[in-house]
Amino acid sequence: MEISQDTVVTMHYVLKNDNGDIIDQSTEERGPLSILQGHGNIIPGLEEELLGKSKGDTFATVISPEHGYGEYQDTMVQIVPLSGFRSEDENEQVQEGMQVQVETNQGPAVAIVTKIEEEDVTLDLNHPLAGETLHFEIEVVEVRSAEENEIEHGHAHGPHGHSH
Ligand code: ZN
């Protein structure tokens, strides 16, 4: 069976950056990754590369930021007042490098605290891989037709399904 819209693809993957550093990979422990093809579960560039591939296929592909996590945008770096982060609990004080949930015009988003200076907090709302050229090595482990409820939910279910 070939990978097409609404198939569930199970794959092993290794993701490296331009320097050859491994950024992410499937492991024996976590098992291969299962995705529902054509529903934006993964970046558009990789969905495109998967089309037409079959079980057992292995390939390497290089994906530009445009087809990956987007270009790095300076406008997505914002400075907000520290007073918005005050917490009663001393152990929950905001720190550099922390991920925080913020409200944006497009709804909730995750930002990384890149700097804290006096009363200002700098938040970076870019995806951590924005601007990166992505080097994937893929092994297609399995391809099957999606169940109806997987298509409804927009994601793949594991071997035992799930309840949401
Ligand atoms: Zn579901």
If one counts the domains in the chain, the total is: 2
What is the distance in A from the centroid of ligand 1 to the CA of 157?
6
What is the distance in A from the centroid of ligand 1 to the CA of 139?
24
160 domain-assigned: no
Assign 143 to helix, strand or coil: strand
What is the distance in A from the centroid of ligand 1 to the CA of 14?
25
91 and 111 inside one domain: yes
Distance between CA atoms of 41 and 16, rounded to whole angstroms?
19
Look up the pTM and report it. Answer: 0.80
Question: Do 81 and 66 meet the contact criterion of CB atoms below 8 Å apart?
Answer: no
pLDDT, residue 90, reads 67
pLDDT grade, residue 103 (50/70/90)?
confident
What is the distance in A from the centroid of ligand 1 to the CA of 149?
7
What is the distance in A from the centroid of ligand 1 to the CA of 4?
20
pLDDT, residue 160, reads 64
14 and 64 inside one domain: yes
- Range(s) of the domain holding residue 30: 7-69+129-153
At 119-151, the pLDDT tens digits run 999 999 999 899 999 999 999 999 999 999 999
| CATH number of the domain encompassing residue 52 | 3.10.50.40
30 and 59 inside one domain: yes
1 domain-assigned: no
